[in-house]
Amino acid sequence: MEPLQMPPLVLFQGNTPAFLLAWRREESWEGRLAIPQSSRDVRGELVHGHNYRWAPAADFASLPGADYTGVPRDGAEPLRLPPLVLYSGHPAFLLAWRPFETDGRQGWQASLAVPPIAGEPPELTYLQVGASSVTRLPEVDYSQVKRGTAVS
């Protein structure tokens, strides 16, 4: 079972981590970016999501070690972000559900990719956490997330 994959990170306007989803050539090269953002709704609750935009390539920088070879170009279907969940109160991407067994007990773990928080180095942190420590968000479609084979 292959987990969902994360698009590569770039730095937008010098300091904002963003995901590069696609390239297109207009007058010059532009990248389709998904910029993580959180805001408060009318009830004061935090809402997590992404600001999607096309940006000139000059407005963002590649990161050392990031692989950009799989980013589609010129009209091809853009890369997609895995669905968001909350882990320790912060947004994270759910890549897969995996079974585990410890001390004769069976359960499920979530494979997560946690984006950087403002001020942290621009890299994803990959974690395996107990399913009970993950909160699903309302109205998010989790059907694309794969489940591993149960432990036997």
Average pLDDT of the segment spanning 74-80: 92
User: How much is the pLDDT for 149?
Assistant: 59
Q: Is residue 77 part of a domain?
A: no
112 lies in some domain: yes
Is 25:72 a contact under the CB 8 Å cutoff? no
Q: What percentage of the chain has pLDDT greater than the value 90?
A: 61
Domain count, the chain: 1
Q: Say if 105 falls within a structural domain.
A: yes
CA distance 106 to 104: 7
Specify if 43 maps to a domain.
no
Q: Answer whether residue 139 is part of any domain.
A: yes
Mean local confidence (pLDDT), 12-28: 92
What is the extent of the structural domain holding 99? 84-147
d(CA 15, CA 35): 12
**Which residues, in sequence order, are CB contacts of 60 under 8 Å at separation 6+?**
10, 11, 12, 13, 18, 20, 31, 33
Q: Tell whether 59 is covered by a domain.
A: no
Residue type, 27: E
Is residue 7 pLDDT above 60, yes or no?
A: yes
Question: Within a domain: residue 117?
Answer: yes
pLDDT digits (tens, 9 = 90+) for 121-147: 888 999 999 999 999 988 889 999 988
pLDDT digits (tens, 9 = 90+) for 53-74: 999 999 999 999 999 999 999 9
Would the pLDDT of 112 be above 60?
Answer: yes
Return the half-sphere exposure (C-beta side, CA atoms, 13 A cut-off) of residue 67.
4
